[in-house]
Structure formats: structure tokens, C-alpha cells
Amino acid sequence: MKRFVLLVVSIASLSAQVTFDRILNAGKEPQNWLTYSGGTSSQRHSTLTQITPDNVKNLELQWIFQSRSLERYEATPLVVDGVMYTVQNPDDVLALDAATGRVYWTYNYQLSPDARPCCGRLSRGLAILGDTLFIGTIDAHVVALDAKSGKPLWNAQVGDPEKGYAITHAPLIVKDKVIVGMAGGEYGIRGYILGLDAKTGKEAWRFYTIPGPGEPGHESWAGDSWQHGGASVWVTGSYDPESNLTFWGIGNPGPDWNGDTRGGDNLYACSVVALDADTGKLKWYYQFSPHDEFDYDAVQVPVLADIDWQGRPRKVMMWANRNGLFYVLDRTTGQFLSGKPFVKVNWMNGFDERGRPMKLASAASSKTGTLIFPGNQGGTNWYSPSFSPHTGLFYIPAWDNYSSLYVKQDQDFVEGRTFGGGGPRPTGPATKTGVQNFRGDEDIYGAVRAIDPKTGEKKWEFKMADVTEAGILTTASDVLFTGGHEGYFFALDARNGKLLWKSSLGGEVRSGPMTFMVNGRQYVAVDAGNSLFVWALRQ
Amino acid sequence: MMTAFPMNRSIVCVLLLASGALLAQHEYTATDIENGGRQYVNNCVYCHGPEGDQIAGVSLFQGRFKRAVSDDDIVQIIRNGVPGTGMPAQTGMNEANARTIVAYLRSAAAVPASTLTGGNAARGKSLFEGKGACATCHRVQGSGSRMGPDLSDIGMQRRAVELEKSLLDPGAGVLPQHRFVQVTPKSGPAVTGRLLNQDTFTLQLIDSQERLRTFVIADLRDYSVLKDSRMPSYKDKLSRQELADMVSYLVSLKGPNKP
């Protein structure tokens, strides 16, 4: 009789819905990957330990899903109880058997011809709550799907694609809400973040990333520039249940490369905002790059952890920013704790007592061109970092020795057209897809940098000949997975950066790896080129 | 808490150099100029010629234009063409690429024309294949080595003054794609070849026997990408007349006929 009860419980848990409680406690079911970053604190760290530094060399390719899209694949799949959910660019959704890759169902999204995302017709992933999947689309809809059948449950238009509004990131679930933000920073949008009712798609709250008249921060925009100031959102945020705050990184102000018409700090562009998850009200913010002219979007995943800070436990947020600096903030109050360059930086030379960067007078876009480190793609970018509570290290996909010449031009706003105000110019050999690499030692390069968050010091690095747009996954067995432009997917020892295993996939790795377990076997998955690759230990 | 970082001296130097190298109305990088040279060869050279002077009244490398004054004017003309004339609109070219062409033109304008005139291309060909021993590294229309850059259409790609400079001071400007690499395996002799590609774990080269070879970096004792040129200077090897002949020959190399 006891055995029968156990069996029933087992079946029930297999078919259980993904409650928000499960999402909050995602670390307790490491066989699953329930959010874009693996949990609401976004550490992209798994407690699975079957794959170790000793046996990772025995990884064997299990299956490949070749998407029917030539667009680059930047998504991280979800896995729930043996079923994988992922996207096919731009906005199709698939359910696959996570162990074999066989497709259960496909949802083909009918995209509006008005969609005009600046930088790729793609989606970075999904969210799940209950039996419902959620995708934000590049024509600015949020669609809810039945996770068992792929049938749409509701479809809410939340932005105007003709004006450049789009969604490219995986939504975040907090309690009964689906949270999404608007991309479109190159089109002169006025960015916002929405909390939608997960059952209906109805808007529960809206936070404008550029304050309107009468709101604090509005004065940080000269004249009417706030109306077209960008401040987009295109990478998934995080959530802290203790403070009930949801954290989102905000993109660059527009026009991107010419700040003349938008005098002031341009809040909350290039900032992290902490919002009350029930109301969307701003609790605090920290601006990494005031009055940015270098495209330093703060579109990084906010990584939350409780660490020992100067002798006492502290609830922090760790952030490797596109502007080349690694930050530690108090995530409850937003207090600046530390900031330090992790790559070559020449636009600032320190912080004042409030944590505001001391920007050099020379660090301004100009009509003749200004040489700035890091360059336009940043010291890092949207690529997911990882924090391992096991090593205590923060891992950054970094670009170093990298600069751009920033040239500004006058540009008037025209609705639905790009609104850049100039552009960056390359200063070194190309970093584009598919070119042969002739670089020398002094040229730009990519690296995995392991940083001790307590000091901001580099503990080790793994240098790559080419740059990287791959996210990083760590596991509790101290294996680190990542890749790069060269098309390798590889494993490093998270303690010292030693190469443990590699596989050449033939396509650039531009996604964050994830791991899961089915029937007692640990798998690791990553997108490269336009395919999804899945490995497990040889049996 | 105020935290100041020590300013990296090398960064300061780079900034000073950058501001000192002001060209015309915009500042351009070496990469801009290189990319612009390629765009010029692909899009402009068949009408304007490698010296930029094939259209009457226009001398692109001397800054003589019929309509354009500013850099922005040139960009606009490249992209939109000049209606009613032979200057077509480069409709597929974005502004950034058009601007690299301007970078190339402005850069070229800063270099005076070659003074090596009166050369004889036939004599130059003999020098190329004989005394100069150029074919031991370079290939022209199917003969010669593949070790160095193929020069079959070098006359379309480079101005006479640039070819002269390459002969006299070959180390002055080695393009990244022409870099050589020297590798020393843990076992076996060192190998030098032209770098074809590299990644974190391997590198590819063509060696002096024209073999395409891949080396696993973990199996090397040492390797280095060479920034200097492997080509000898002909400054003291050829007379002034011989240099003029050689330039004349190289200028005559226009590659296969194209529509």
C-alpha cells in the first residue's frame, strides 16, 4: 500500500503545474530549468553534480534541434519534468522531449509585417506559470499558450510595432503576473515595463523607464527629449521575494550617440530599476552610465546573492555592465557598494561618495570622433553571466582591448525610423561573423573572467582568440560551460579556468547554456548558429 | 566614499594620438581607411580608376570634386548618386560604409602621387620574375607562389604611390590578412607561413611549400603573429629606373576582365 501511495505522488509531481512557489524554489528541483536564468535570482547556476570536472570529457552529443530559421539563436530553453520548451525565431514556440529532442507540438506565430526590431528578428525565450507558457514577440505582443497543446490562450498587444516597439527577451513571472519590457531603443520609443495578469493578459501596472512630466527624474531630460528617449528593456529581470522587488536593466538613451538634445542624466536609461512587483512602483534605482553616448545599455541580467560583505552577510546584486565596470549594490536599498573595471575603460576614473561615476570631460561623442574603451558592443553585453555560490566567484563573458570611435551627427526624430544620431566606428580588425581571424596580441579579444565580488579582483581568466556573445552556466560540481564566436562550446574548471572539454559546433554560440536532468541523467544544452545542441555523459 | 582609478598611461597616449591625427572634417581610424579602400575597389574603381582621376574634372585623391565640399556631401553623393550623370546611386550601401570610402579618399589625399614615372611595364615584368625574385612569394595570373598576397589585380587595388611605398618600405603597412605567423612545435622544426585563420585552440597557415596546415596550439612550444613584413625592401636592391619599371608593371596588373 505504501508503494502505491509513493507511485501516485510520483505521477502527481510529474504532471504538477509550475506554481510560483516552485519557481521561487527552483533550486530544490535542479532537474528542471524553470526560468530564463534558472531561478528568480538569475545566477545561471545549477546544483546538479553528475557532470564533474573529472568526467566532463566523456560528454557525448545526444541530439540536435535544427530550427527552421536562419536568424541567430539566442534563446535559453525551459525544462519542466522532462519536457523542453523553447522558441524558433522569430516567435514560434516548441515543446520537445528533453531526452530525445522529438517534437511534441509547434506553435507558429503569425507575425505582423510591421515588426522592426533593430538587431535581430528573434526571441530569447519563454516563461511558464501553471500550465501556461508566455512569449513576448517582436511585434510587441505577449501570447499565452497551453503548455500541453501549444494552443493560444490569450494574445495581448502591448506596444506599437510601427513605432519600433518590440519584445525580444523571455518574460519574468512574479506571483500571478507576467512581466515584460519594451525593446526599441534605436527607434526613439519611450520605454516601459508591464505587469500583466497571467490569466487574462490584462495590464495590471506600467512603469515608464523615462519619467513623465511631474515625476521625479523628468528633469534629467532636456526639453521634449524624454518623449523619444529610448530606455528600452531587452533582457530578463530578476526578483527578490524578501523585498518583493523586481529588478530590470534599462537600455541606452536615444538618440544613441548624440546627447546634445537630451541634456541631463537621462534617467532611467543605463540604470537598474527596483520595482514593487505588485504595483510597478519604483523603489530605488542606480544609474551606471549617466548621460550615455556610447550605447552602454544596462541590459544585463541582475544577479542576486547573499554574500559575506566586509565581515557581515549582505543581500547584494552583482552586475557586470556594458560600460566595462563590475558593480556590487545592496539590492534592498540600491546602495552602491563597489565598482571596478573588469576590462580596459577610459571614460571615467572613479566614483564620488554617492557612487556616481566620475566621467572624464573628454569622454563625449564628437563630430570628429572620440576614442572610447570599451567600444560599442561593451566590455560585456546582454550575455548571461553566472555566479557560483560554491566558488563564490562571478563569471563574465568579456571583450577586452576593445574600443570604438564615437561620431555624432545631428538627427531629427521621425516616428518609426532609427534614431541614432551618428554611430560608432571600428578601431581594430573586424569582429563580424564568419571572417577569418588575423588578430595579433594587442587586438581585441574575448575572455571568461572570474571575479571575486568581494574585491572586484580577477581570480582567473580564460582568453579566447575571438570575442564571445555566449552566456555562462556554472554547476555545484565546479564545471563552467560557455562558448564564443569561434563556434566552440567548452567546459572550464570554475575554480581555476582550466579547460576540461570542448566541442566545435560550427556556429557562433550566442546563447546562455542550461542544464537539466531526465530519468537520472544530467544533460547540458546550448544554442549555436541556428540549432540547439544537447549533451550527456556517455553511457 | 570616493574611489579613483589610476589612469592607464597607454590609454592617454592613444587619445592624444587620436586627436592629433585629425583628417579633414572627420577623424577616421586605420580600420575605416582599410575598409574604405576595399569599398572603393569594389564599388568605385571601375569608373574612377585606381588613381581616382579617370573622370574628367574629378580627382578623388587630390580632393577635387565637381559638387562635393564636405565629407557629408561625399557620403550623400555616394549613396544617392548624381541624377543625369554617370554617377549611380549605391542604394545598397549604408552610411557607415560610404563614410569609410570618404576616410580612404581623405587618407589618400594626404599622400602625394608617386614620383617614379617613366617606367616600362615589360621591363618591370622581367624584374619581377628575375632579379626581384618576387614570384618566390607572390602569384600573378596563375604563376608564382601562393605564400604571399596574389598580385593579379594589384593595379586595381593600389595606387602607384602605394606600390612604390610597398617596394621601398614593405613593413610600413601590413594588412591583418597578410600577416605571417611563426610556430614552433614541441617536436619538429619551426614553421613560418601566412596566417589564414586562428582560434583559441588551433591556427591555420599556408607554408613556404604552399601546404595548408593546421596546428593545435597546445602542441606548440611557441607561436607569434608577425606584424612586420617578410618582404625585403628594394630600396637598395633596385635602381630608381628599375623601381619605376616595377611600379609600372604592377600598375598594369588589372586582373581578369570584368563586365
How far apart CA A481 and CA A44 sit, in angstroms, is 11
Q: Does A373 touch chain B (CB under 8 A)?
A: yes
Can you name the residues that pair with A425 across neighbouring β-strands?
A405
Q: How many structural domains compose chain B?
A: 3
Q: Does A108 touch chain B (CB under 8 A)?
A: no
CB contact under 8 A, A346 and B32: no
Chain A residues whose beta carbon lies within 8 Å of the beta carbon of residue B5:
340-341, 345, 348-350
In a domain? residue B114: no
Chain A residues whose beta carbon lies within 8 Å of the beta carbon of residue B22:
368
In chain A, which residue's Cα lies nearest the Cα of B7? A349
Looking at the partner chain, which of B11, B31, B200 has a beta carbon nearest the beta carbon of A346?
Answer: B11
The CATH number linked to B162 is: 1.10.760.10
In this prediction, residues B197-206 reach a mean pLDDT of 94
In a domain? residue B152: yes
Q: Domain check: are B42 and B103 in the same one?
A: yes
Chain A residues whose beta carbon lies within 8 Å of the beta carbon of residue B196:
436
- Domain hosting residue B164, numbered range: 121-173+234-252
Which of A427, A438, A467 to mutate: most B Cβ within 10 Å? A438
Helix (H, G, I), strand (E, B) or coil at A366: strand
In the structure, what pLDDT confidence band is assigned to residue B23 with cuts at 50, 70 and 90?
A: very low
In a domain? residue B199: yes
pLDDT at residue number A430:
62
CB contact under 8 A, A423 and B96: yes
How close B44 gets to chain A, by Cα (Å)? 22
In a domain? residue B243: yes
Looking at the partner chain, which of B15, B28, B200 has a beta carbon nearest the beta carbon of A488?
Answer: B200
* Amino acid identity at A502: K
Q: Does A346 touch chain B (CB under 8 A)?
A: yes
CB contact under 8 A, B201 and A488: yes
Q: Which residue has the cell 550615455?
A: A292
Element (H, E) at B98: helix B95-109
pLDDT at residue number B36:
87
Chain A residues whose beta carbon lies within 8 Å of the beta carbon of residue B4:
349-350, 358
In chain B, which residue's Cα lies nearest the Cα of A430? B31
In chain A, which residue's Cα lies nearest the Cα of B228? A440
Q: Domain check: are B125 and B216 in the same one?
A: no
Helix (H, G, I), strand (E, B) or coil at A207: strand
In the structure, what pLDDT confidence band is assigned to residue B63 with cuts at 50, 70 and 90?
A: confident
Q: Is B9 exposed, middle or buried (CB count within 10 Å of its CB: 0-12, 13-18, 19+)?
A: exposed
Q: Domain check: are B245 and B128 in the same one?
A: yes
Q: Does A429 touch chain B (CB under 8 A)?
A: yes
For residue A499 the three cell numbers come to 579547460
Q: How many CA atoms lie within 13 A of B248 on its CB side?
A: 19
Higher pLDDT, A220 or B171: A220
In chain B, which residue's Cα lies nearest the Cα of A487? B199
In chain A, which residue's Cα lies nearest the Cα of B97? A425
In chain A, which residue's Cα lies nearest the Cα of B176? A438
How close A160 gets to chain B, by Cα (Å)? 26
In a domain? residue A5: no
CB contact under 8 A, A371 and B199: no
Q: Is A209 exposed, middle or buried (CB count within 10 Å of its CB: 0-12, 13-18, 19+)?
A: buried
* Amino acid identity at A66: Q
Q: Domain check: are B82 and B104 in the same one?
A: yes
How far apart CA B62 and CA B108 sit, in angstroms, is 8
Alpha helices in A41-98 (DSSP H): none
CB contact under 8 A, A428 and B31: yes
In a domain? residue A12: no
Chain B positions touching chain A (beta carbons under 8 Å): 1-5, 7-8, 11, 14-15, 18, 22, 25-32, 35, 95-96, 99, 176-177, 179, 195-201, 224-225, 227
Q: Which residue has the cell 530544490?
A: A28
Q: Domain check: are B77 and B135 in the same one?
A: no
In a domain? residue A381: yes
CB contact under 8 A, A407 and B22: no
Which of A92-101, B167-176, B229-238 shows the lowest per-residue confidence on average (mean pLDDT)? B167-176
- Domain hosting residue A352, numbered range: 17-154+163-537
For residue B51 the three cell numbers come to 588613381
The CATH number linked to A227 is: 2.140.10.10
In a domain? residue B258: no
Distances (CA, A) of A312 to A44, A315, A336, A457: 25, 10, 16, 19
CB B105 within 8 A of CB B61: yes
Q: ipTM value, please give it.
A: 0.84
Chain A residues whose beta carbon lies within 8 Å of the beta carbon of residue B176:
429, 438-440
b/e sequence A69-79, b meaning 16+ C-beta within 10 Å? eeebbbbbbbb
Q: What are phi and psi of B20, to 5 degrees?
A: -80, -15
Q: Which residue has the cell 600577416?
A: B179
Size of interface A-B (CB pairs under 8 A): 108
Q: Domain check: are B56 and B147 in the same one?
A: no
How close A425 gets to chain B, by Cα (Å)? 7
In a domain? residue B214: yes
Contacts of A345 (CB under 8 A, 6+ apart): A323, A324, A325, A373, A374, A379, B5
Q: Domain check: are B135 and B248 in the same one?
A: yes
Contacts of A42 (CB under 8 A, 6+ apart): A35, A36, A236, A237, A238, A301, A302, A303, A304, A384
Interface list for A 400-419 with B (CB within 8 A):
403, 405, 407
In this prediction, residues B150-161 reach a mean pLDDT of 90
For residue A72 the three cell numbers come to 541567430
Q: Domain check: are B92 and B128 in the same one?
A: no
CB A299 within 8 A of CB A249: yes
In chain B, which residue's Cα lies nearest the Cα of A409? B72
From start to end of A159-225, where are the E strands?
Answer: 172-174, 177-181, 192-197, 203-208
Helices B71-80 + B95-109 axis angle, to 10:
130
Which of A343, A436, A499 to mutate: most B Cβ within 10 Å? A436
Q: Domain check: are B24 and B94 in the same one?
A: yes
How far apart CA A478 and CA A49 sit, in angstroms, is 8
pLDDT at residue number A2:
47
CB contact under 8 A, A488 and B176: no
In a domain? residue A11: no
A20, A21, A24, A25: CA torsion to nearest 10 = -140
How far apart CA B147 and CA B127 sit, in angstroms, is 19
Catalytic residue among A256, A295, A297, A466: A295
Residue B151 pLDDT > 90: yes
Q: Is A308 a catalytic residue?
A: no
How close A312 gets to chain B, by Cα (Å)? 19
Looking at the partner chain, which of B29, B99, B198 has a beta carbon nearest the beta carbon of A437?
Answer: B198
Q: How many structural domains compose chain A?
A: 1
In this prediction, residues B32-58 reach a mean pLDDT of 84
In chain B, which residue's Cα lies nearest the Cα of A350? B4
In a domain? residue B115: no
Looking at the partner chain, which of A350, A429, A466 has a beta carbon nearest the beta carbon of B199?
Answer: A466
Q: Does A105 touch chain B (CB under 8 A)?
A: no
pLDDT at residue number B3:
60
How close B61 gets to chain A, by Cα (Å)? 21
Q: Domain check: are B166 and B74 in the same one?
A: no
In a domain? residue B259: no
Divide the 539 residues of chain A into consecutive groups of 10 and give the mean pLDDT of each group. Answer: 44 68 97 98 98 98 97 97 98 98 97 92 97 98 97 98 97 98 96 98 98 97 97 98 98 96 98 98 98 97 97 97 98 98 97 96 91 96 98 98 92 92 81 66 89 97 95 98 96 98 96 98 97 97
CB contact under 8 A, B196 and A352: no
Q: Would you put residue B232 in left (φ > 0), alpha (ψ -120 to 50) or beta?
A: beta
Chain A residues whose beta carbon lies within 8 Å of the beta carbon of residue B1:
351, 353, 355
How far apart CA A143 and CA A121 sit, in angstroms, is 17
CB A53 within 8 A of CB A388: no
Which of A7-21, A148-162, B42-56, B138-152 shows the lowest per-residue confidence on average (mean pLDDT)? A7-21
The CATH number linked to B212 is: 2.30.30.100
In a domain? residue A229: yes
Which of B200, B222, B227, B229 to mutate: most A Cβ within 10 Å? B200
**Is beta strand A499-504 parallel, antiparallel or unpaired with respect to A488-493?**
antiparallel
Enumerate helices (H) and strands (E) in chain B, giving the number of each. 9, 8
pLDDT at residue number B15:
33
How far apart CA A319 and CA A336 sit, in angstroms, is 11
Q: What is the per-residue pLDDT across B68-126, written as a single tens digit (0 to 9) for each?
A: 888 888 998 999 888 888 888 887 888 888 988 998 888 888 777 788 888 999 999 99
CB contact under 8 A, A502 and B31: no
**Is beta strand A45-46 parallel, antiparallel or unpaired with respect to A370-372?**
unpaired
Q: Domain check: are B162 and B42 in the same one?
A: no
Residue B19 pLDDT > 60: no
